[in-house]
DNA sequence: CGCGTTTACGTCGTTCGTAACGATA
DNA sequence: TATCGTTACGAACGACGTAAACGCG
């Protein structure tokens, strides 16, 4: 058994059981990959793939087990290389982050700008997706960090560092009736208008629906989208009242939109940054965590890494110690 | 990075940083090992060992980290080989067990006899040691199962399957005063005699001392040994009253010794069989667990493997469902 | 006939073992 | 001088790439 054979095996799996594609991805010849797979199967004495003629048509039960183990092995070799690199190439490397649109568009820009200033030679890869896709990416691809909100159960096996909390904000076209209430917004107010908000697959988002239900209200959601930019576009078109994460309520929107704070109407959400428990964090990665969650101290991070359960980690942070990110303050219409 | 380089690296570590010894253990030439180590260090760009002249004199901080990762990798390659072997060589393989003297001498013989009957081609390796040594063996050497009593904290990272419970038995020379009590034995009775028992490092053994203390008694322990055979030998010599695990009270001892049951005097101990959470269990290994802990069903074993915490596993077994192993019944002097 | 895999074969790099050398106590 | 590690070198092996054949849709 050779590391390369395992690497090729995973490449084949990750390229839809297409050996040719796998070979290209590995920058090598197709017969080479084919042969190594054959050698591996011969050495182990079992078929890893189901053949259909000459093509690979599926993965055998044994194959799945071997593949899982091979992934662990390749991850550990990566870890060894990482920690080696950390000893002599402090400033070089790459950082791959998987996250949702809201983070990528509204939260990360400032943080990444600062990060680039400190580590100009580190390559950055930003991957976007739903919570499910993010969970998939961090287990199968080489992603260093996942950043998401709620849905902790999707990310078992990761260490999740609670980073900040946020409320929803209500976005309306300039001069909308709701801006003239003269009192604090209520759910009843919102229920009277057609609503535009996130699709529910998004993390703790069903908590929005539940908030209405708790008051016996049936919200009239006319449109859902995955990201706040789309939502705001439709709000501008007068399609309805938008409910977005408050970070997405940008000062730049002020020309056409107005933002009404919605603190207290919906439960506060907590966004965390997560990484694999068995991953080696290079120094610049630790720095990134600290940029994203500045309230975390070095000693806390060490405690976190020693922790065995997620509850233990959450226990390290008083909920109300976490910073709260708000909307662009200029644009908020406060309660009377 | 090659698997062989990592294998050699571990061999060097496991042979006291002696490359020559490592090479012999690997059935290869010494220069080969030396060279592969050098290549590995060059590729990683760091020193894994502290040199003193040409000799290896210690492990660097980076080295420790690499070694830990390398162990994971080698374990996973073993796992792949194991599960491959399980698919085509059901009947061949080896089983390594690390356990204490009591298990090896009094409990395992019957089980191993039965196991050999079913799997005559499986090689058996029985390793003996203290709890600490067993914990060490199962993390560093290639041990499949640990069998021990109490001391669960030493074995974090293992899955421990509670297997049976047992009480202590009191062993005295034939005709000893204690055999003529005509009533149930008490701790007060025992405290009046010099005692011979296990050294306290042995698992939950300090519970013995505590049992006396709870009644305000100071036991007069004149002699401690690691195994019951030694203890019984000294009891035969008249050195004192022996307290041993009831399994160790053998019918064969009846010529010179008498056994007095001591149920209720000391807390019951639970013996478990443990294996690495990340290990692949070959079919014969699963059968071994079932022989050792017959109350465990196949579906329970699957649940156990899915469990994430030891408490979860313990919850699967009602304490009083576990079988209790007793002394040789013929030899027990019951209470009047 | 195109797509994808396997077979065949020549080349090149790597590993391994032997032998000689170097350093250390 | 015995022990342990490194260097040197030739032989064997293994991986890789090109070219060609095969099987399938």
Task: Return all residues near A200 (Cβ < 8 A) that are at least 6 apart.
Answer: A206, A209, A224
Distance measured from the CA of protein residue B3 to the C1' of nucleotide D3, in angstroms: 29
Nearest alpha carbon to residue A165 among A324, A59, A327, A1:
A324
Range among A153-157, A174-178, B65-69 rated most confident: B65-69
Q: Is the pLDDT of residue B205 over 60?
A: no
Cβ < 7 Å from nucleic strand C: A 17-20, 30-31, 34-35, 37-38, 51, 54-56; B 2, 4, 27-32, 35-36, 39, 52-55
Structure tokens at A157: 């096996």
Structure tokens at B257: 């010794």
CA quadruple B282, B308, A148, A284: dihedral sign:
negative
Length of chain A: 336
Interhelix angle for B283-292 vs B298-306, to 10°?
Answer: 110
Q: Is B70 on the interface with A (CB under 8 A)?
A: yes
pLDDT in tens, B90-148: 778 889 999 988 888 888 888 999 999 999 889 898 888 888 888 888 887 789 999 99
Output the pLDDT for position A334.
61
Identify which of B62, B81, B280 has the shortest CB distance to residue A87: B62
pLDDT of B206? 66
- Asked if pLDDT for residue A204 goes beyond 80, the answer is no
DSSP-assigned letter for residue B248: G
The overall average pLDDT reported for chain A is 85
Sign of the dihedral through C-alpha A87, B71, A301, B49:
negative
Q: Where is pLDDT greater, at B316 or A201? A: B316
| A90 contacts chain B (CB < 8 A) | no
Q: Residue with structure tokens 């028992």?
A: B197
What percentage of chain B carries pLDDT values higher than 90? Answer: 25
Q: What is the mean pLDDT of chain B?
A: 85
Distance from CA of A288 to the nearest CA of B (A): 22
Give the Cα separation of A7 and B213 in Å (integer).
61
Residue B321 DSSP class: G
Asked if pLDDT for residue B88 goes beyond 80, the answer is no
Contact check, Cβ <8 Å, A45/B309: no
Residues 109-168 of A with CB under 8 A from B: none
CB within 8 Å: B87 and A3: no
Q: Which helix (H) or strand (E) holds B17?
A: none
* Alpha helix stretches (DSSP H) within A89-151: 101-102, 108-118, 131-140
Question: Directed axis angle between helix B283-292 and helix B108-118, to 10°?
Answer: 140
Nearest CB to A44; choose among B44, B70, B80: B80
Q: Which region among A1-5, B198-202, B263-267 has the lowest average model confidence (pLDDT)?
A: B198-202
Q: Give the separation between CA B322 and CA A181, rounded to whole angstroms.
A: 69
Query: At CA A29, angle to CA A23 and CA A34, rounded to 5?
Result: 70
Q: Is the pLDDT of residue A205 over 80?
A: no
In chain B, % of residues over pLDDT 70: 95
Going by the DSSP 8-state scheme, the letter that residue B144 receives in this structure is S
| Domains along the sequence of chain A with CATH | 3-89 (1.10.10.10), 94-166+270-325 (3.40.190.10), 168-268+328-333 (3.40.190.10)
Beta-carbon contacts of A277 under 8 Å, excluding residues fewer than 6 positions away, are A157, A158, A159
Beta carbons of A256 and A174 less than 8 angstroms apart: yes
Q: Does A199 touch chain B (CB under 8 A)?
A: no
What is the structure's pLDDT at A206?
66
Of B1, B76, B85, the CB nearest to A72: B76
Q: How far is CA A289 from the centre of its chain?
A: 14
The verdict on a CB contact (< 8 Å) between A84 and B2 is: no
- The rounded distance, in Å, linking the Cα atoms of B265 and B211 is 8
* Distance of residue A11 Cα from the nearest chain B Cα, in angstroms: 18
Per-residue model confidence (pLDDT) at position A198: 84
For the CA of A32 and the C1' of C12, the distance in angstroms is: 15
Range list of β-strands (E), B107-204: 122-128, 145-149, 158-166, 168-173, 194-198
Chain position carrying tokens 């870890």? A79
Give the E-state strand segments of chain A in sequence order: 49-52, 55-59, 93-99, 122-128, 145-149, 158-166, 168-173, 194-198, 220-225, 241-245, 257-261, 269-276, 324-325, 332-333
The reply to whether B81 touches chain A by the CB within 8 Å rule is yes
Q: What is the pLDDT of residue B336?
A: 42
Whether the pLDDT of residue A336 is over 70: the answer is no
Give the predicted TM-score (pTM) of the model.
Answer: 0.78
Chain D positions under 7 Å from a protein CB?
4-8, 15-20, 22-25
Residue A223 tokens, joined: 């449109």
> Is residue B11 within 8 Å of residue B25, measured between CB atoms?
yes
User: Separation of CA A51 and C1' D19 in angstroms?
Assistant: 25
Q: What is the pLDDT of residue A55?
A: 84
pLDDT band at A203 (very low <50, low <70, confident <90, very high): very low
pLDDT > 80? residue A233: yes
What is the dihedral angle through the alpha carbons of A275, A279, A282, A284, rounded to the nearest 10 degrees?
-10
In strand C, the nucleotides that come within 7 Å of a protein beta carbon are 4-8, 15-20, 22-25
Residue nearest the C1' of D14 (CA based): A36
Q: How many Å apart are CA A19 and CA B187, to the nearest integer?
A: 74
Give the model's pLDDT for residue A273: 94
User: What does the block give as tokens for A170?
Assistant: 């209500």
pLDDT of residue A201: 53
Q: Say how far residue A149 (Cα) sits from the centre of its chain.
A: 8
For residue A202, pLDDT beyond 70: no
Parallel, antiparallel, or unpaired: how do β-strands B122-128 and B158-166 relate?
unpaired
Q: Which pLDDT score is estimated for A200?
A: 64
Q: Is A46 on the interface with B (CB under 8 A)?
A: yes
> Is pLDDT above 80 for B44?
yes
Residue count (chain B): 336
**Residue bearing the bigger pLDDT, B299 or A80:** A80
Residue B200: per-residue pLDDT: 64
Query: CA-to-C1' distance for B54 and C22, Å?
Result: 10
Contacts of B5 (CB under 8 A, 6+ apart): B36, B37, B39, B40
């Amino acid at each position: 058994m050779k590391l390369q054979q395992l690497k090729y095996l995973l490449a084949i799996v990750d390229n839809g059981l297409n050996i040719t594609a796998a070979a290209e991805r590995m920058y090598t010849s197709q017969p080479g990959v084919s042969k190594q797979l054959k050698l591996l199967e011969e050495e182990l004495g079992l078929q890893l793939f189901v053949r259909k003629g000459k093509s690979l048509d599926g993965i055998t039960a044994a194959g799945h087990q071997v593949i899982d183990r091979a992934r662990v092995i390749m991850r550990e070799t990566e870890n060894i290389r990482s920690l080696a690199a950390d000893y002599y190439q402090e400033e070089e490397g790459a950082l791959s982050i998987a996250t949702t649109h809201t983070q990528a568009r509204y939260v990360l820009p400032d943080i990444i700008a600062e990060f680039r200033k400190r580590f100009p030679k580190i390559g950055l890869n930003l991957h976007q997706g739903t919570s499910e896709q993010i969970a998939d990416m961090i287990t199968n691809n080489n992603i260093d960090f996942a950043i998401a909100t709620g849905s902790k159960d999707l990310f078992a096996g990761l260490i999740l560092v609670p980073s900040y909390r946020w409320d929803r904000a209500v976005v309306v076209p300039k001069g909308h009736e709701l801006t003239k209430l003269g009192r604090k917004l209520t759910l009843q107010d919102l229920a009277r208008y057609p609503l535009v908000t996130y699709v529910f697959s998004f993390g703790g988002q069903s908590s929005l629906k539940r908030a209405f239900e708790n008051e016996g209200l049936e919200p009239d959601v006319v449109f859902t989208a995955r990201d706040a930019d789309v939502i705001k576009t439709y709000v501008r078109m007068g399609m309805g009242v938008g409910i977005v994460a408050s970070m997405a309520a940008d000062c730049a929107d002020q020309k056409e939109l107005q933002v009404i704070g919605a603190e207290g109407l919906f439960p506060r959400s907590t966004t965390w940054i997560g990484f694999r428990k068995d991953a080696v964090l290079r120094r610049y990665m630790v720095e990134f965590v600290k940029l994203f969650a500045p309230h975390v101290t070095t000693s806390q991070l060490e405690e976190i890494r020693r922790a065995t359960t997620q509850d233990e980690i959450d226990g390290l942070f008083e909920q109300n110690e976490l910073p709260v990110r708000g909307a662009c303050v200029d644009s908020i219409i406060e309660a009377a």
